[in-house]
Structure 1
Amino acid sequence: MEHYHSILKEREGNIGMNKQVNYRSFLSTIILVSTFGGLLFGYDTGVINGALPYMSEALGLNSFTEGLIASALLLGAALGAVFGGQLSDYVGRRKNILYLAVLFFMATLGCTLAPNITVMIAFRFLLGFAVGGASVTVPTYLAEMAPAESRGKMVTWNELMIVSGQLLAFVFNAILGTTMGDHSHVWRYMLAIAALPAVILFFGMIKMPESPRWLVSKGKNEDALSVLRRIREKSQAQSELNEIENALNEESGVQKATFRDLLNVPWMRRLVFIGIGVAVVSQATGVNSIMYYGTEILRDAGFETSAALIGNTANGVISVLATLVGIWLLDKVGRRPMMLTGLTGTTTVLLLIGIFSFVLKGSTALPYVMLTLTVTFLAFMQGAIGPVLWVTLSEIFPLRLRGLGMGISVFFLWITNFFIGLTFPILLDKIGLSATFLAFAAIGVVAIALMKKYLPETKGRTLEELELYFRTHNDQDAQNDYEGSTQAK
């Protein structure tokens, strides 16, 4: 009899272990499938890097229309980020990602088959709308599906998929450019590849569950509990449902901030300005001039097109590796030191690019110097500034201000990105490589000064502590008390 009971207990233990493995496996599947949205984000922003030289010849582009085609996606992304969040609140995170997958697919086909500049710009704009929608919907979906103890890891996986998508774009550009470079439509094949992950995202998300938090917000508590039982241990599902219900009840009692509050409440206005500043500074480093025009930069420095495409893959590799390091550093180093170190590094590299591209102009060494410097630049950008950007924006806004503050900040991020994408090829054409990067270096100096003066340290601080700090910012005694309490921790 004792032997029978021991066998029964062993079987029960195995069943419990299998359930635990199953829910973790299902969570891993959710991460993998949904972050194909991030992969598409990365591929569609990076593929233009290698396609543009060939596209310029086929469509007869000049510096202005090159910038317009590259930046049309960014303008679409600004609007997609604003409306994508609202749409996911209305139809659900899962269904919104399905809609975005269809838009990714249709816009990719439109760009691939575009017969002229006008059609290309129109479909690049629609593609950007999908990118912007994915940039807000996928992290929200992941955050709401993740257990509290692994939320950061799950959400930052999307960032890794974005830079992996850019790396894939650079690799496929290099392969197609070196094997089919004499084919006039090689750029169409580069663009067409993005249709495949869009198909995977669509059919994968059909089998994924809806966010339990969204279901509770719509009064579908039984459905939410059913989802939680698939992605949590049995003992955790009911307690987490209760937590979600309590959190939503608290949020419903919070009066959300409005644009009028930004005019009338100084501490709210100050927080939004900091959010805008962090967003603008991260893009004003000129990072996307390298991510979108890296091949053009290397060609301008002296590489042949095929060699530039191959060299540009180094930018993708370092972006992935640096992002991994940045994710690891986030919980070990403060936000301010990481941001200031990153800005100091990128500004120094931008200055060196400006100097060497002038001093070594025409030299056979210049292309290799430029490749080394762009790789170093991306190490600082993706390893320090990139991770801090999104974490800071998620931490500085209290609950009542979070939706409005994040929306405004991300909108300015994309608009800054748009203007850089539009003007960079024009600046390259009119004032040259050296003067363009010296201008970025000058902006970097201003950015360092602004972040040193205004960026708060948010690591280890609660939202309530940060709100208190900004409410009492003009009261020096209260400010000293706050800083003393944080140092004591």
Structure 2
Amino acid sequence: MSAPTSATTRDRLAALPEADAPVRPLRMRLTAFAITIGGLLFGYDTGVIAGALPYMTRPADQGGLDLTVQAEGLVTSSLLVGAALGALLAGRLADRHGRRRTVLGLAVVFLVGALGTALAPGLTAMVVARVVLGLAVGGASSTVPVFLAELAPKEKRGTYVAVDQLMIVTGQLLAYTTNAVLANTVDSPHTWRYMLAAASVPAVALWIGVHFVPETSRWYAARARYGEALTTLRRSRPAGHDSLGELMEIVAVTRAEEGRERYGWRELRLPWVRRLLVVGIGIAVIQQVSGVNTIMYYAPLLLELTGLATDAALTATIANGVVSVVGALIGLRIVRRLPRRTMLLVGQAGILVALLALSGVFALAVEPALTADGVPPVGASYAVLAFMLVFLLFQQAALSPVTWVMLSEVFPLQLRGLGMGVAVFLHWCVNAAISFAFPVLVAAVGGATTFLAFAVVNVGAIVFARRMIPETSGRSLEELEADFRLRFAPAR
């Protein structure tokens, strides 16, 4: 069906058979839950390896894979490599085949990856399976927020997209809890296989749940499938909502793209597109340069350096998961009330204070004791733990949820999948680089200098956010696109 002309847009859309056909209302909360099972899998699969690795390092005759230290790093990082590739590929697939079909495909990849890691007979098979699993993790991280943003009404868009962040940290907490339960209840050398295989259950749930979710109206409209677009709008909006008017707004944007090829790599040379891509990449990278995964991945190592016993350090890791979930719940409540940019800057400011405090504790209490071959005072352990939890509270309540919300909003319709893919690809690349570099830096220059370096980087991130990132709350995706075109297009 061709795009309606401006003079008759509403009449022609109102004449569509779908305009008066009865529809079954879509329960947006259940819809968001079904879609964000992808986020739950994201969190579970990135968190479960911490509990599985100790078993995997055991000799083969004890049920392990006899991993060396280098092999441990390879197994851990292989998922991040797959995630970077998955984020890049899924964006293009979501633009071409739709958000719904892409997530359905990702559910299958999640299942194959989970079973592959659980059944891996050796290192090579494990690395391959982890890369496959990473493809799904990265694909979910770039596709699920866009899927939610395009389905949700503009006044609730931030809340529904923030649900994804809540599900990610819930998945991490679920992984920590599952690891602990299995380790204490299953007397088997293959306990680690059960930990990894458990991810297959939510993968099946994701595949089933998304079958009951429609494709987004914006994706349909971009392909001139206006009847289906109207049906999705009518199903996902409250009674009395002007679905025809909203579809007209969407059509106006898609009409502006008529006669053009879909945005691809060539269009990234356009100044306004390139500027938006820089903004999107900046948003994605800011979340990682905060140093969040140095806390999530290496908290036990840091706490052991302060003199805390191993058991207590592992318990603190569970505390990280609990605080992350609490923070995500807070973020879910405030994302509708605070402007996105303000929320981002508040989160960055809180993280900066926590990083400076961590650097101070290491400089004043931990490292002097270690240099003198002594044991740091007990108070240092509690101080490091406290500031780590403060860090995570600001990260998960402000910075992380608003990151994914804004990433789902800043890219224009025709570039949304590709732009999200590129931004999240670099997000995962920075994640991998920081994850590799952090233990090396701590060993080489100490925790004080390392956290101080992160604090300096975060000062730069705050300057970037204040100067470059626009406000996106309170407006439809189409209004944002029109504003970005006007703001970032070169003057003629």
Residues 1:442 and 2:456 aligned together: yes
Find the counterpart in structure 2 of residue 381 from structure 1.
Answer: 395
CA shift digits 1:229-281 (9 cap, x unpaired): 6545676597278535555334435666555555563x544443333223222
Find the counterpart in structure 2 of residue 290 from structure 1.
Answer: 295
CA separation in 2, counterparts of 1:343 and 1:113? 41
Residues 1:415 and 2:429 aligned together: yes
Greater shift in the superposed pair: 78-87 or 348-357: 348-357
The one-letter code sitting in structure 1 at the alignment partner of 2:109 is L
Residues 1:139 and 2:145 aligned together: yes
Pairing partner for 1:83 from 64, 89, 94 = 89
Residues 1:371 and 2:389 aligned together: no
| TM-score normalised per structure 2 | 0.79
Greater shift in the superposed pair: 163-172 or 200-209: 200-209
CA contact under 8 A between 1:54 and 1:184: conserved in structure 2?
yes
CA contact under 8 A between 1:72 and 1:418: conserved in structure 2?
no
SS of the residue 2:25 aligns to: helix
CA separation in 2, counterparts of 1:195 and 1:29? 21
CA separation in 1, counterparts of 2:355 and 2:238? 50
Q: Residues 110, 320 of structure 1: CA spacing in aligned structure 2 closer, same or farther, 3 A cutoff?
A: same
Q: How far 1:41 sits from its partner (Å)?
A: 0.9
Q: Residues 357, 55 of structure 1: CA spacing in aligned structure 2 closer, same or farther, 3 A cutoff?
A: farther
Q: Aligned pairs, how many?
A: 452
Pairing partner for 1:127 from 118, 123, 133 = 133
Q: How far 1:292 sits from its partner (Å)?
A: 2.8
Greater shift in the superposed pair: 213-222 or 156-165: 213-222
Find the counterpart in structure 2 of residue 170 from structure 1.
Answer: 176
CA contact under 8 A between 1:224 and 1:241: conserved in structure 2?
no
Q: Residues 397, 143 of structure 1: CA spacing in aligned structure 2 closer, same or farther, 3 A cutoff?
A: closer
Q: Residues 279, 93 of structure 1: CA spacing in aligned structure 2 closer, same or farther, 3 A cutoff?
A: closer
CA separation in 1, counterparts of 2:194 and 2:306? 26
Greater shift in the superposed pair: 200-209 or 373-382: 200-209
CA separation in 1, counterparts of 2:43 and 2:93? 22
The one-letter code sitting in structure 1 at the alignment partner of 2:451 is F
CA contact under 8 A between 2:90 and 2:421: conserved in structure 1?
no
CA separation in 2, counterparts of 1:407 and 1:226? 28
The one-letter code sitting in structure 1 at the alignment partner of 2:334 is L
CA separation in 1, counterparts of 2:285 and 2:105? 29
Q: Residues 146, 460 of structure 1: CA spacing in aligned structure 2 closer, same or farther, 3 A cutoff?
A: closer
Identical pairs, percent: 45
What CA RMSD, in Å, does the superposition of the two structures yield over aligned residues?
Answer: 3.5
Find the counterpart in structure 1 of residue 328 from structure 2.
Answer: 323
What aligned pairs does 1:5-404 form with structure 2 within 5 A after superposition? 23=25, 26-57=27-58, 58-179=64-185, 184-217=189-222, 230-232=235-237, 239=244, 242-243=247-248, 245=251, 247-252=253-258, 259-260=265-266, 262-263=268-269, 265=271, 267-357=272-362, 359-360=365-366, 361=370, 362-363=375-376, 364-398=378-412, 402-404=416-418
Greater shift in the superposed pair: 188-197 or 204-213: 204-213
Q: How far 1:216 sits from its partner (Å)?
A: 5.0
CA separation in 1, counterparts of 2:260 and 2:266? 16
| TM-score normalised per structure 1 | 0.79
Q: How far 1:219 sits from its partner (Å)?
A: 5.7
Q: How far 1:377 sits from its partner (Å)?
A: 0.8
- Structure 1, unmatched stretches of 5+, are 1-18, 476-489
CA separation in 2, counterparts of 1:85 and 1:147? 22
Q: Residues 234, 280 of structure 1: CA spacing in aligned structure 2 closer, same or farther, 3 A cutoff?
A: closer
Q: How far 1:458 sits from its partner (Å)?
A: 4.5
CA contact under 8 A between 2:95 and 2:416: conserved in structure 1?
no
CA contact under 8 A between 1:47 and 1:190: conserved in structure 2?
yes
Greater shift in the superposed pair: 187-196 or 53-62: 53-62
- Structure 2, unmatched stretches of 5+, are 1-21, 59-63
Q: Residues 472, 106 of structure 1: CA spacing in aligned structure 2 closer, same or farther, 3 A cutoff?
A: closer
CA contact under 8 A between 1:339 and 1:384: conserved in structure 2?
yes
CA separation in 1, counterparts of 2:150 and 2:487? 28
CA shift digits 1:204-224 (9 cap, x unpaired): 333444444444555655555
CA contact under 8 A between 2:158 and 2:335: conserved in structure 1?
no
The one-letter code sitting in structure 2 at the alignment partner of 1:141 is F
CA shift digits 1:149-207 (9 cap, x unpaired): 43333222222211211121122233334556x85443333222211111211223334
CA separation in 2, counterparts of 1:80 and 1:191? 20
SS of the residue 1:23 aligns to: coil
Structure holding more helix per residue: 1
Greater shift in the superposed pair: 226-235 or 338-347: 226-235
CA contact under 8 A between 2:92 and 2:418: conserved in structure 1?
no
The one-letter code sitting in structure 1 at the alignment partner of 2:147 is Y
Q: How far 1:104 sits from its partner (Å)?
A: 0.7
Q: Residues 187, 229 of structure 1: CA spacing in aligned structure 2 closer, same or farther, 3 A cutoff?
A: same
CA separation in 2, counterparts of 1:270 and 1:230? 35
Greater shift in the superposed pair: 58-67 or 199-208: 58-67
The one-letter code sitting in structure 2 at the alignment partner of 1:193 is A
Greater shift in the superposed pair: 452-461 or 134-143: 452-461
